Structure 1
Amino acid sequence: MNYLNKNMTGVHKQLMNGDITSEELTKQTLDNIKKTDTKLNAFIDLNDSKALDDSKAVDQKGIDASSLLSGMPIAIKDNILTKDLKTTAASKMLSNFTPIFDATVVKKLAAAGAINVGKTNMDEFAMGSSTEHSVFGPTHNPWNLNKVPGGSSGGSAAAVASGEIIAALGSDTGGSIRQPAAFNGIVGMKPTYGRVSRWGLIAFGSSFDQIGSLTRNVYDNASILNVIAGHDKHDLTSSDKAVPDYTQNIKKGVKGLKIALPEEYLSDGTDKNVKDAILKAAETYKKLGATVEKVSLPHTKYGVAAYYILASSEASSNLQRYDGIRYGYRSKDANNLAELYVKSRSEGFGDEVKRRIMLGTFSLSAGAFDAYFKKAAKVRTLILDDFKKVFDHYDMIMAPTTSTPAFDLGSKTSDPVSMYMNDVLTIPVNMAGLPGMSIPAGFSDGMPIGMQLIGRPFDEGTMYQAGYAFEQNTDFHKHFPKIGGAK
């Protein structure tokens, strides 16, 4: 079973018609993952026996005609809690942690009939842009095994792009769904902050984190958001706004839509091939009846600096719970309580996580709070104001997702600042809590280029509408990587 030529609608029809059972589909999916993943390392753990048991139960109950996810195998990023299935956040600190409950999104997927086949690789505690910061080793890009798949949801992206799975969940704190989606030539959506419950998501930066999905096409992505979105009494930051049917108006087109193209996203730091692809995409939208005009988001250049102060500060607070006492890794070489704390954290966390904890702790210290944290918070407000001004006149923003295509494995691990700059075009969306989606928009030397669509708060519907229109009038989503079947 390879999903490269498939979509959820087509597979759902096969299941409904009895051409294949959910159990057969799940078994074939697991077999293909075991065969393909030796080259990719996209999965940390497979849910073999339970996935097969769950698929049998769906078959016995009967495929739900109203749910595209009924009997459908999917994958879950390994920082989203899954009951009785290890959830490690790709860290030695949690390498043997087995949750006793499911995250809300996992419960919702199960209620829709989806089958969890396993947990995908990621940057440790979602801190990274390349999925190289994992205690289980790096994930490889299926388009070129010497390239990174992006991060931190690189395992989910590579699994979908290679055809191992039809869809996967990821999390996005500063671009961790959209950037790997761009690097792998697939669709990745970060919903509006609060649109999807974070209950059961291992926290990195609580005011930035958001769960979303990675798929091969826009319609499938919208179908998954229909299921996972909505208020959750366990998450007080989740919105109680009604959840629309995101597929209802998806085919309406973009005629009359006003789209903004920020000049700052097309600066000298953006690769020429990426710029050309986005400008060509703008012409496609114009031909389809939309208006595309250049605008300015002047505080974009301060986004990375402000984000790494704020997000690291939140990480410093969130990760202090990992102390070697109640759960997680505990050092065997400690002689007293102080040593237990220090050695457990020193041995359990990787270098990138330690770096961000130290940066965040410094930023929150008495001597640095006013000079760094407070100023970064003010910059966050300025970035939000930039977006508000644009959305007073435009329906949506289009821009590159990343400034370059995927880079070589190992090329930036020794230069943290260079690695951080990979998120320069995705971070502002998280700073403002807006929805952002990456869709395939071109190629550069055989590697995918992603286009980022940014919408008003809770207006994912317009983004899906615009993404679907672009997808139907281009063929970038029909190209396949070498791993998975391309010749």
Structure 2
Amino acid sequence: MADLNKLGLAEARDALRKGDVTSVELTDACLTAIDGAGALNAFVHHTPDIARAQAAAADARIKAGDAPAMCGLPVGIKDLFCTKGVPSQAGSRILEGFLPQYESTITQNLFDAGAVMLGKLNMDEFAMGSSNETSVYGNAVNPWRRGNDDTALTPGGSSGGSASAVAADLCLAATGTDTGGSIRQPAAFVGITGIKPTYGRCSRWGVVAFASSLDQAGPMTKSVRDAAIMLEAMCSHDPKDSTSADLPVPNFEAMLTGDIKGKKIGIPKEYRMDGMPDEIEALWADGTAMLRDAGAEIVDISLPHTKYALPAYYVIAPAEASSNLARYDGVRYGHRARLDQGDGITEMYEKTRAEGFGAEVQRRVMIGTYVLSAGFYDAYYNRARKVRTLIKKDFEDVFAQGIDAILTPATPSAAFGLGEASDDPVEMYLNDVFTVTVNMAGLPGIAVPAGQDKQGLPLGLQLIGRPWEEGDLLNTAYALEARAGFVAKPAKWW
């Protein structure tokens, strides 16, 4: 079989079971593709020896007839996941040299299922960013280009390396994390599928924390079916994570019937933003028509507190980041600044953090520390928490009316050029306008590629589901995917 790295998880799994291909062959095809894609800067820590050893072990398992769905499938791991003995830097200088002596629960689940790790993927520093421009490794680059224009485009963030690697067929799938849209926005920017499950569905243990009440991991894949396969392998109840839900994990793939007749799909009027590009508006209308054509009932709904979601998010997330990042002080692990004679522990903290944290992380830590300070705690942080409760109630009220899923755009635009929005942090934060509400309410959300803009760049739609009903959400996405028929791939230039 030619171009093995271009297979999706489902196709590769079936080929492995039939004996048409081996995991070692699949893995070697991906490693060759990675070696030839330095211009994308997607993989930042390469683990070919681990990959080949895991692939050989997976082939033995498949031969013995003891093989879960993910067995033998080569994937990339976002640099936010701790992987035993492999650099895990969260895209930051402050964790330079950190080699965890333990495995995150999610990567352990994947390895137990026989998945193969090709390496660690680029990301915004500590997952803070929407364009993968805050990484210590430099920018990840989108494999797509605008028409005949050579401008380097963002793959989105913070899971930009994951998005770029999957879209460019460097791996069959990748892990991502989503605090305010960091799976769904990059997936939309590169024409792949990305699902953020319900908060608590995937363990956060061993995933470097940004904002603990918002962070959630999920798969980034080439199709909805692949997302169902990988999500099932990633999910589990984990006693090491106090927010992990003790719920059975369904067979998500078995729930993909494509039948959504009679399902009620909500269209929220508040997501019609001023200045939204006509192409995004048209895509949303097309997606609505596709779901109606599939037999769903379309219902106009209201989520009245949506307009407050972004400002509330940018109070809560930096506040939690300020608290979480206090542990990086140069004492225990990672980078420590060179000290002058007479420097004490305070100077060590200050110099280490000034050198170790990039500008965006420093900005968010400062915002977070400010909103948690004595004089401003009630004015900012407590008020934002109350707004969050209202946003959550908006969704609960809508779902109580019998709505099964909500359809919105995934992003306010197609991928933009690297450097085009980095001068204005507020402009960058607006990239999360359609996605942050889902994290604030702890709901599952999925981005599905559904079309292209006039310059040929992919555009995605977002479906938001009921809590814990990822299977139903995936099935609705499966129906949308079938009707959208998105099969475009970036032309290879790297």
- TM-score, normalising length: structure 2: 0.95
Q: Is the 8 A contact 1:162 1:484 kept in 2?
A: no
Alpha-carbon distance, 1:479 to partner: 0.7
Alpha-carbon distance, 1:66 to partner: 5.0
- Residue 373, structure 1, aligned to residue 373, structure 2: no
Q: Is the 8 A contact 1:16 1:65 kept in 2?
A: no
Question: Quick one: structure 1 residues 248 and 19, their matched pair in 2 at CA, closer, same or farther if it must change by over 3 Å?
Answer: closer
- Residue 358, structure 1, aligned to residue 366, structure 2: yes
- Structure 2: 5+ residue stretches without partners: 146-150
Whole-Å separation in 1 of the counterparts to 2:416 and 2:300: 28
Q: Is the 8 A contact 2:5 2:26 kept in 1?
A: no
Whole-Å separation in 1 of the counterparts to 2:235 and 2:176: 14
- Residue 261, structure 1, aligned to residue 262, structure 2: no
Whole-Å separation in 2 of the counterparts to 1:411 and 1:456: 36
Q: Is the 8 A contact 2:258 2:478 kept in 1?
A: no
Alpha-carbon distance, 1:484 to partner: 7.6
- Residue 421, structure 1, aligned to residue 422, structure 2: no
Question: Quick one: structure 1 residues 69 and 229, their matched pair in 2 at CA, closer, same or farther if it must change by over 3 Å?
Answer: same
Partner of 1:246: 252
Question: Quick one: structure 1 residues 3 and 154, their matched pair in 2 at CA, closer, same or farther if it must change by over 3 Å?
Answer: farther
CA displacement 1:179-232 (0-9 Å, x = unmatched): 000101100000000001000000000000001010010001001111111210
Q: Is the 8 A contact 2:287 2:484 kept in 1?
A: no
Partner of 1:396: 405
- Residue 474, structure 1, aligned to residue 484, structure 2: yes
- Residue 135, structure 1, aligned to residue 136, structure 2: yes
- Structure 1: 5+ residue stretches without partners: none
- Residue 327, structure 1, aligned to residue 333, structure 2: yes
Q: Is the 8 A contact 1:92 1:329 kept in 2?
A: yes
Q: How does 1:33-432 map to 2 (within 5 A)?
A: 33-36=34-37, 38-63=38-63, 64=65, 66-144=67-145, 146-334=152-340, 335-393=343-401, 394-432=403-441
Q: Is the 8 A contact 2:4 2:29 kept in 1?
A: no
Q: Aligned match of 2:444 in 428, 431, 435? A: 435
- Identical columns (%): 47
CA displacement 1:286-316 (0-9 Å, x = unmatched): 1111011221111111111100110100000
Question: Quick one: structure 1 residues 99 and 402, their matched pair in 2 at CA, closer, same or farther if it must change by over 3 Å?
Answer: same
Partner of 1:483: 492
Alpha-carbon distance, 1:483 to partner: 2.9
Amino acid at match of 2:431: N
Alpha-carbon distance, 1:355 to partner: 0.2
CA displacement 1:345-366 (0-9 Å, x = unmatched): 0000000000000000000000
Alpha-carbon distance, 1:462 to partner: 1.2
Alpha-carbon distance, 1:439 to partner: 0.3
Whole-Å separation in 2 of the counterparts to 1:29 and 1:19: 17
Whole-Å separation in 2 of the counterparts to 1:62 and 1:276: 46
Q: Counterpart of 1:83 in 2: which secondary structure?
A: coil
Alpha-carbon distance, 1:60 to partner: 2.8
Alpha-carbon distance, 1:68 to partner: 2.3
Whole-Å separation in 2 of the counterparts to 1:196 and 1:309: 24
Q: How does 1:445-456 map to 2 (within 5 A)?
A: 445-456=455-466
Whole-Å separation in 1 of the counterparts to 2:126 and 2:360: 10
Q: Counterpart of 1:62 in 2: which secondary structure?
A: helix
- Residue 27, structure 1, aligned to residue 28, structure 2: yes
Amino acid at match of 1:329: H
Alpha-carbon distance, 1:93 to partner: 0.4
Alpha-carbon distance, 1:23 to partner: 1.5
Whole-Å separation in 2 of the counterparts to 1:82 and 1:313: 27
Whole-Å separation in 2 of the counterparts to 1:2 and 1:141: 20
Question: Quick one: structure 1 residues 408 and 134, their matched pair in 2 at CA, closer, same or farther if it must change by over 3 Å?
Answer: same
Whole-Å separation in 2 of the counterparts to 1:316 and 1:269: 33
Q: Counterpart of 2:406 in 1: which secondary structure?
A: strand
Whole-Å separation in 2 of the counterparts to 1:29 and 1:220: 17
Amino acid at match of 2:348: L
Q: Is the 8 A contact 1:3 1:163 kept in 2?
A: no
Computed over aligned residues only, the root mean square deviation of the Cα atoms, in angstroms, reads 1.4
Count of matched residue positions in the alignment of Structure 1 and Structure 2 = 483
Whole-Å separation in 2 of the counterparts to 1:135 and 1:66: 38
Alpha-carbon distance, 1:83 to partner: 0.3
Whole-Å separation in 2 of the counterparts to 1:4 and 1:291: 39
Q: Is the 8 A contact 1:3 1:166 kept in 2?
A: no
Amino acid at match of 2:111: A
Amino acid at match of 2:484: T
Whole-Å separation in 2 of the counterparts to 1:366 and 1:439: 43
Alpha-carbon distance, 1:3 to partner: 5.8
Amino acid at match of 2:184: R
Q: Is the 8 A contact 1:3 1:164 kept in 2?
A: no
- TM-score, normalising length: structure 1: 0.97
Partner of 2:148: none
Amino acid at match of 2:219: S
Question: Quick one: structure 1 residues 398 and 3, their matched pair in 2 at CA, closer, same or farther if it must change by over 3 Å?
Answer: farther
